[in-house]
Amino acid sequence: MLQGIGLALWGPVALAQPGGKARRVGIVFSTDPRTSAPYLDALARGLEQHGYRRDRDFVVDVRHAEGRPERYPALVRELLDARAEVLVVGANSGVIAAKAATSTVPIVMAGALAPDAMGLVATLARPGGNVTGVANMSGSVTAKRLQLLHELVPGATRIAYLTNPAVPGWDRTVKTVEDAGATMALRISAATASTPEEIDRMLASLAEQRPDAILVGNALLFWMHRRRIVDFCARHRIPAGYAYGEVVREGGLTSYASSLEDTFRLAGTFVARILGGAKPADLPVEMPTRYELHVNATTAKALGIPIPAAIRANAEIVD
For domain 13-137+260-289, the question of CATH label 3.30.460.10 is answered with no
Sort 24 into a burial class: Cβ within 10 Å, 0-12 / 13-18 / 19+. Answer: middle
155 Cβ contact partners less than 8 Å away, ≥ 6 residues apart: 212
12 phi/psi in degrees, rounded to 5? -55, 135
Q: Dump the DSSP string for 244-300.
A: -HHHHHTT-SEEEEE-HHHHHHHHHHHHHHHHTT--GGGS--B--S-EEEEEEHHHH
pLDDT of residue 2: 37
pLDDT of residue 67: 86
The alpha-helical segments, DSSP class H, found in 165-217 are: 170-183, 196-209
| Strand, helix or coil for residue 110 | strand
Q: Is the pLDDT of residue 133 over 90?
A: yes
Report how far residue 106's alpha carbon sits from residue 205's, in angstroms, rounded to the nearest whole number.
44
Residues of the chain with CATH 3.40.50.2300: 13-137+260-289, 139-258+292-318
pTM of the model: 0.86
CB 22 within 8 A of CB 14: no
Average pLDDT over residues 113-122: 91
User: Angle between the 260-275 and 33-48 helix axes, to the nearest 10 degrees?
Assistant: 50
Percentage of residues in the chain having pLDDT higher than 70: 93
Q: Is the pLDDT of residue 138 over 80?
A: no
Q: Is the pLDDT of residue 107 over 70?
A: yes
Tens digit of each residue's pLDDT (9 = 90 or more) over 73-102: 999 999 999 999 999 999 888 999 999 999
CB 311 within 8 A of CB 151: yes
**Domain 139-258+292-318 is classified in which CATH homologous superfamily?**
Response regulator (3.40.50.2300)
Tens digit of each residue's pLDDT (9 = 90 or more) over 248-289: 999 999 999 999 999 999 999 999 999 999 999 999 999 988
Burial 98-118 (b: 16+ CB within 10 A, else e): bbebbeebbbbbbbbbbbeeb
Report how far residue 130's alpha carbon sits from residue 102's, in angstroms, rounded to the nearest whole number.
9
